[in-house]
């Protein structure tokens, strides 16, 4: 019985410490995800490093969201810069909280918290991919029905036995996940 009370005390102490930490990080809106929420009125449910992409890099356009998984932040694609052949090379991003100096490292607050910054990055440097908010989140995108069927027939594919239906949306084919 004594060990149960010790465990209960330890768990209560841990919960109290977590609540204190949550109170310490109550800075309000100003993170990169808050800007995306303000612009698009929706975000994915998890932290940015766990966001799922739903478009390919060569499809990126103004209004999409760049996901930086390693840095755990997201940014709004303001516009795309292409080379002479039309290949998309750079993107100009707008985001909050992308300062170079930490104000509060524990809470991930930089000197640019809540302040709009603009930066130009190479498309290939976006390690988490791109997300187009207006496309359904529970669908996997393919350029054609043929490509979708090919993926679903691959040995070991998660879609091999679960392919239920295909949906056309703005010239793209999706598989429901």
Return the closest-CA partner of residue 32 out of 79, 3, 69, 2. 69
For residue 152, pLDDT over 70 is answered with no
> Per-residue confidence at 168, pLDDT binned at 50, 70, 90?
very low
Q: Kindly report, residue by residue over 119-141, the tens digit of the pLDDT.
A: 999 999 999 999 999 876 555 55
Percent of the chain with pLDDT over 90: 54
More confident residue, 149 or 105: 105
For residue 144 the two structure tokens come to 């054609």
Is this prediction's pTM over 0.75?
Answer: no
> Distance (Å, rounded) from C-alpha 144 to C-alpha 147?
5
Return the closest-CA partner of residue 136 out of 163, 164, 176. 176
pLDDT at 28: 87
pLDDT at 24: 72
Q: Kindly report, residue by residue over 71-88, the tens digit of the pLDDT.
A: 999 999 999 999 999 999
CATH node for 28-133: 3.90.1720
Domain boundaries, given as residue ranges, for the chain? 28-133, 135-177
DSSP state of 55: B
């Amino acid at each position: 019985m004594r060990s149960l009370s010790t465990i209960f005390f330890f768990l209560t102490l841990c919960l109290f410490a977590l609540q204190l930490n949550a109170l310490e990080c109550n800075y309000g809106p100003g993170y990169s995800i808050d800007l995306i929420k303000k612009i698009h009125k929706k975000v994915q449910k998890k932290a940015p490093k766990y966001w799922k992409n739903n478009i390919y890099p060569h499809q990126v356009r103004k209004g999409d969201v760049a996901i930086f998984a390693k840095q755990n932040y997201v940014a709004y694609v303001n516009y795309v810069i292409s080379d002479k052949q039309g290949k998309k090379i750079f993107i100009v991003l707008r985001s909050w909280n992308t300062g170079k100096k930490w104000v509060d490292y524990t809470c991930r607050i930089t000197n640019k918290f809540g302040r709009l910054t603009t930066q130009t990055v190479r498309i290939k440097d976006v390690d988490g991919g791109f997300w187009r908010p207006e496309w359904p989140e529970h669908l996997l995108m393919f350029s054609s029905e043929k490509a979708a069927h090919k993926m679903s027939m691959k040995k070991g594919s998660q879609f091999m036995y679960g392919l239920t239906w295909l949906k056309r949306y703005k010239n793209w084919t999706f598989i429901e996940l």
